[in-house]
Chains A and B, each alone.
Chain A
Amino acid sequence: MSASDESTSLLGVRARVVLPDFTLEIDERIAAKGVTALFGPSGSGKTTLLRAIAGFERPTRGRIVLGDRVFFDAEAGIWVPPHERPMGFLFQDARLFDHLGVSGNLDFGARRRGRGDTRFAFRDVVASLDLGPLLGRRIVGLSGGERQRVALGRTLLSGPELLLLDEPLAALDVGRKAEILPYLEKVTRRFGIPTVFVSHDLDEVVQLADRVLVLDDGQVAGEGATAEIVEGLDLGPSANRHEASVVVEGCVLRHDTRLHLTLVDLHGDTVSLPLADRLEEGAPVRLRVRARDVAIAIVQPEGLSIRNVLPGHVTAIRDGGAGAADVTIQLREDHLRAQLTRAAVEELGLAEGSAIFALVKSVSLDRGR
């Protein structure tokens, strides 16, 4: 029931899509494996790109392939309509069929999948999305989060080879998002289905995606592993929209339910964060640490409320403009960035190679893999 271990196929998209108010121009190959995020501000072309892959938008030129199957080739005159593409699409607004009820919607997907496709058994899908209690319900009256769970189940049951998620959390409030994210995380891993995920929310991207493709104004502005892209976001052309942060990977040591903490091992250092006991002990996690949440001490501090004190040394000090300095700190294996004032840098006498202690005020938990 896990991912097919065939060699990873590539999703190749070379396309020009002209819409009334903007043009998407792209030439990319995306590994159809794990979760790839299409990230960028609204109006950057993320959804248009996803719709072109699914066949809902027809590019004026280019070529779209998955492995050796061609879905669109302008020169060869090939156009495969959306219903013949082995792709599942999760819409922002769920788009459940009101006249069918929850189980009717699930069956709609299941009845149309290829015969002999056993990857998504009804019971497994229902169990992994906790849909059991909803099966007898009507669509009207479901909450936004429940709708997205049913829509995701329906899509999986249709037996896609590629899952396309179009900002499935954007229409939900913060609480509902927190309710759905773990499910998205779980099914992409549980069923090993390659996923392309559109989002303009950096925390969602860090939590879900292995790789990121950054879009800006209809063009690719960057691509790479999630940690790499997140760290570079405040340096590139879209710098003013993003604050400096890094992503570090560790694994869960243990949960302390009395103090409501989860302890995470970062290659020998320990950090604590608010209790996240849905993670199993030993599970890998990704943490996003914002540069403005990191302070520096040159001696081991005592009598301090900050819990996370990590020894390291300075590897770079860059001018952050307006009297600010951006300091890169090497820990045992990971690195952090800290935002200080230039005055603080001078007073502490920081230079490349200085041994220091990094004080991390808060850590946001992102996902593990």
Chain B
Amino acid sequence: MSLGAVDPTPIWITLQLATCTTALLFLVGTPIAWWLARTRSRIRPVVEAVTSLPLVLPPTVLGFYLLILMSPDAPLGRFWLTLTGDTLTFSFSGLVFASMLYSLPFMVQPLVAAFEGVGRGPIEAAASLGAPPFDAFLRVAVPLSKRSFLTAGVLTFSHTLGEFGVVLMVGGNIPGATRVLSIAIYDHVETLRYAEAHTLAAGLLVFSFAVLVLVYAFDRRARVRVG
């Protein structure tokens, strides 16, 4: 079984998807996690539940509603179409958007735990030294949570690598655009090309296992329920 036997395009698309998703989720998930860790608001449980929904929902349910939300008839889909001239459904951008929702808990949960671990103490200390909130966040909370940032990034990345249901619902199976690794494996199995399926599946299995071993070895406090 050599990799030469399979089309590598789905691998590249998958890596691009995971990279984009992880990078964007750092930007979106960090403020959500910071808010969740520090708020005393009564709507906190609601927001927490929303960010954790992707862990318990079947990917087809999430994918189904995303498909409706992103279709050119819906406000979000129409807005995207007028903005970029491309549909959100059955496109790479749509996949990134769907993956971000799907992997949100993997980014948010480790960061909430980390920020709660930092606590109010160091932030108050920074404020008493004249540091505005964002300064305190950047120079104190983030460096003190850097291990959890690594954990969150790696988990988000590897979780995105393996997604299937949401991608199939939202992105379809367009070679060179939305056919990712997991769908390529499915295709190979459907057409009884087990050798190719093996190559890709074993690769993903080994990679995911290695990543989790690294994460747990590195950050024993990683408090993530891998859905």
Contact = CB atoms under 8 A, between A and B. Distances in A.
B127 A97 contact: no
A196 to B, nearest CB: 13
A82 B131 CA distance: 9
Interface residues of B, number: 19
B140 A88 contact: no
Contact of B128 (A88, A100, A113): A88
A108 B140 CA distance: 10
B122 A93 contact: no
Nearest to B124: A56
B122 A83 contact: no
B130 A112 contact: yes
B140 A82 contact: no
A163 B124 CA distance: 15
A82 B125 CA distance: 10
Contact of B131 (A56, A83, A88, A96): A83
A24 to B, nearest CB: 18
A17 to B, nearest CB: 16
B206 interface: no
A174 B126 CA distance: 29
B89 to A, nearest CB: 44
B121 interface: yes
A286 B128 CA distance: 32
B204 to A, nearest CB: 35
B129 interface: yes
Nearest to B143: A99
A95 B129 contact: no
A95 B122 contact: yes
Given A56-B124, A82-B124, A99 B144 contact: yes
A91 B140 CA distance: 17
Contacts, number: 65
A158 B130 CA distance: 7
A69 to B, nearest CB: 15
B121 A98 contact: no
Interface in B157-184: none
A155 interface: yes
A149 to B, nearest CB: 15
Interface string B115-153: 000000110111111111101100110011010000000
Nearest to B130: A112
A275 B140 CA distance: 45
A192 interface: no
A95 B121 contact: yes
Contacts of A113: 130
A158 B121 contact: no
Contacts of A158: 128-130
Given A99-B144, A108-B139, A82 B128 contact: yes
A284 interface: no
Given A82-B127, A88-B128, A97 B121 contact: no
B131 to A, nearest CB: 6
Contacts of A112: 129-131, 135
A81 interface: yes
B121 to A, nearest CB: 5
Given A83-B129, A95-B124, A159-B130, 19 more contacts: A54-B128, A55-B127, A82-B127, A83-B133, A87-B128, A88-B129, A89-B124, A89-B125, A91-B124, A95-B121, A95-B122, A97-B143, A97-B144, A99-B144, A99-B146, A108-B131, A155-B128, A155-B129, A158-B129
3 tightest A-B CB contacts, nearest first? A112-B130, A89-B128, A95-B125
